[in-house]
Amino acid sequence: MTSPYGLLAELTYACPLHCPYCSNPLTLSDYGDELTTAQWQRVLGEARELGVLQLHVSGGEPLQRRDVVEIVRRACELGMYTNLITSALGLSPRRAEQLKAAGLDHVQISIQAHEPTQSDRIAGTRSFDRKVAAARLVKELGWPLTLNIILHRQNIDRIADIIALTEQLAPDRVELANTQYYGWAWRNRDALLPSRPQIERAEAVVRAERARLAGRMEISYVLPDYYSQYPKPCMEGWAKRQLTVTPNGDALPCPAAHQLPLPRANVREKSLAWIWTDSPLFQRFRGTDWMPEPCRSCARREIDFGGCRCQAFQLTGDAARTDPVCILSPDHEIVAEVVRAANEGARPREEVLTPRPHPSRVR
């Protein structure tokens, strides 16, 4: 069994944004009893002993936690590489200087669109100008900067404008990631899934811009699962190299696994080492022995590991099924039908979205 190298610490699900593609759970109120500062610091110590080298501090919005600087400082003291994944709302010059002094290594900022009106509409709050200012602040302080843009039906046609904006902000890396349909994105899937022509036009733009900007900034483009022949390897394989800890202390093999009907594993009750090595949750889909056909006899079984367990559960009701995204899956018609619906000619480009609400908090 390999040791994990990455920990995603979801400090809180509180967030000033209302993004309709958010992957946070639909039952946000279940996570109001957040881990304390001391509990997070203990978890970080256990993670480092387990072999974790990278800490990704996320949420919700991690800057909503007043102790985020203390948590980052502890991770740096343990020798972890630290990455702040943020909307940038709350990244004031003072807070940024504190995080810099604490040892934070990298900042990733989300951008919703290329201009204020559309960006603020998607985010559900006025935020575009503050995001741009924060990105410039990050560069001024000498941090490596990644800009993350979630693509969907309502912004993908402006991908050239989005890249032009990112070029002005001079990030080291740009992630153009098509929406993954979990959490609130699952609820809004019909309004978010692009059409095939939209995907093809976006791919052409990305190819041209990668060539033009080669050596200046890295552009990563993630195709929507629903338009792929084969699924992506979920988290490099279930409980293989990474894990997530949610605000209430639940430990998960991937951020979306909270929805699966499997036994819980919580850091308030068990050590991270026991959870990683022995818990039924982390053991359930580890390796390939659990696989049904056609995965069991497929040459790709150790490439994509049967695809995403959460996606299989959402689409079929059975987390042990072959991911229906796969063209070899007996359930592939489920995905094919969704794609056909997304390509109906009369369908409007901008549809009504259900915004992610603000969760109630205890801390």
Structure tokens at 37: 């500062």
Res. 346: pLDDT tops 80: no
Q: Which residues contact 221 (CB under 8 A, 6 or more apart)?
A: 176, 177, 202, 203, 206
Task: State in Å, rounded, how far the first CA of the chain is from the last one.
Answer: 37
Phi, psi (rounded to 5 degrees) for 118 = -70, -40
* CA gap 178, 150 in Å, rounded: 6
Tens-digit pLDDT profile for residues 234-278: 878 899 999 999 999 999 999 999 999 999 999 999 999 999 999
Predicted TM-score of the model (pTM): 0.94
User: 10 Å Cβ neighbour count for 144?
Assistant: 14
**Residue 19 annotated in ligand binding:** yes
DSSP 8-class letter at 75: H
**Residue 326 annotated in ligand binding:** no
Domains of the chain: 1-362 (3.20.20.70)
**Residue 298 annotated in ligand binding:** no
> What local confidence, expressed as pLDDT, does residue 268 receive?
98
* CA gap 81, 79 in Å, rounded: 7
DSSP one-letter string for 194-251: PPHHHHHHHHHHHHHHHHHTTTT-EEEEE--GGG-SS---GGGSTTTSEEEE-TTSBE
Tens-digit pLDDT profile for residues 38-93: 999 999 999 999 999 999 999 999 999 999 999 999 999 999 999 999 999 999 99
* CA gap 304, 320 in Å, rounded: 14
| Residue with tokens 């109120």, as numbered in its chain | 29
For residues 181-193, give the mean pLDDT. Answer: 93
Tens-digit pLDDT profile for residues 4-19: 999 999 999 999 999 9
